[in-house]
Amino acid sequence: MELPNLYLSLFHCLLLTTTGYLCVQGLPHHSRRHHHNRHHLHDEHQLYGFRPTKLFVFGDSYADTGNVRKSLANSWKEPYGTTFPGKPAGRFSDGRVLTDYLAKYLGLKSPIAYIWMKLGEKKLHYGMNFAYGGSGVFNTYNLLPNMSTQIDFFEKLMNNDSVYTKWDLQSSLVLVALAGNDYGAYLANNGTAQGLQTFIPLVINQLAMNLKRLHEMGARKIAVTALEPLGCLPRMTQTSWFQQCNETQNMAVNFHNLLLQQAVEKLNNETQDSAFLVLDLYSSFTTVLDHKKDNSGNLKFDTPLKPCCMGVSNGYLCGSVDENGTKMYTVCNDPKAAFFWDGSHPTEAGWRAVFTAMQPTFEQFF
């Protein structure tokens, strides 16, 4: 399937303005042994119908809960984290993100961020979050750990450090989040719009290899996110004063999502255990944005495309300060009434609405 030239051109413009935040490579892991009861490996088919006992997370800022170094990420600056936990804590939102809502749904506490594992040994039995904001399946910005490297971190904890066992992985849910940083990095490094037609399949192929690797390591429930409607992000809708999404740009995003769906169907056929699930962020986002509320009607977003936190002018972002430390951003009065927190990420309320829209998918999966 070819992506029309018009879409390629618009996708090029889109991705140049939706690059991720600055991040750094993961800190070297120091050996840390976690003692827990060993389980005998059960027959894989006995797992179906059971609630996962742990959550392991890989990906980018839509799932990151604190892996990016403090000196390089807005997620550690005010006003991030004002809703939860009440101060900046590494989440790219005012509060909880996709990982947190998924953990709550499973009856678990949110898994500890990988770089903080030494400080939270008691929390290791909930799983672990290896996601780094701004990362992708390939190298993106500042040599931060790509998804393969994140999986390497996890494999080391299993094989060398005995922090987790194969049973832990077999009885867990794995979340893989990919929000488009590979494309932003590709274009920032002189990639062309026409070249995206061949680059997008490379991204999907690498993602599929990562998913297959996780399955071969023992994972039996793996959820991977489809690409969100990039044309609806505030960075793109500001040209219309946050009044409408660019639907032509969103049609281009569907090329990525179509290839992803095909790749996941192939993996499920090959493994014969339906271990893989696509989380349709595209439909979940658009459902909430179109209806301006969540499924229950408890959360209403009167101007859903306008972010709660934004720079005072071009060149400034949410969290920006000038050389004197003066805040160069504004924050809305009620983040709960805003779907988007900043130029790229939902608020806690936004994520809650998105997850509510996706919940029937999880109920079928489990």
User: DSSP states of 78-104 as a string?
Assistant: TTTTTTTTSS--S-SSSS--HHHHHHH
Classify 152 in phi/psi space as left (phi over 0), alpha (psi -120 to 50) or beta.
alpha
Q: How far apart are the first and last CA of the chain?
A: 33
User: Would the CA dihedral through 288, 291, 295, 301 be positive or negative?
Assistant: positive
By CB neighbour count within 10 A (0-12 exposed, 13-18 middle, 19+ buried), where does 46 fall?
exposed
Take residue 244 and report the two structure tokens written for it. 């409408």
Q: Phi and psi for 329 in degrees, rounded to 5?
A: -150, 160
How many CA atoms lie within 13 Å of 2's alpha carbon, on the beta-carbon side?
6
Report yes or no: 215 and 152 within 8 Å, Cβ to Cβ: no
Distance (Å, whole) CA 235 – CA 238: 6
Query: CA–CA separation, 358 vs 280, rounded Å?
Result: 7
Any idea what DSSP says for residue 337? G
Please list the active-site residues.
61, 342, 345
Residue 278, SS3 per DSSP = strand
- Kindly tell me the burial class for residue 348, based on how many C-beta atoms sit within 10 Å of its own C-beta (0-12, 13-18, 19 or more): buried
Beta-strand (E) ranges in 273-351?
A: 276-279, 309-311, 329-331
From the list 18, 11, 66, the residue with the least C-alpha distance to 340 is 18
Q: Which residues pair with 113 in a beta bridge?
A: 129
* Cβ within 8 Å of residue 18, ≥6 positions away: 180, 184, 230, 233, 235, 236, 344
Helix (H, G, I), strand (E, B) or coil at 328: coil
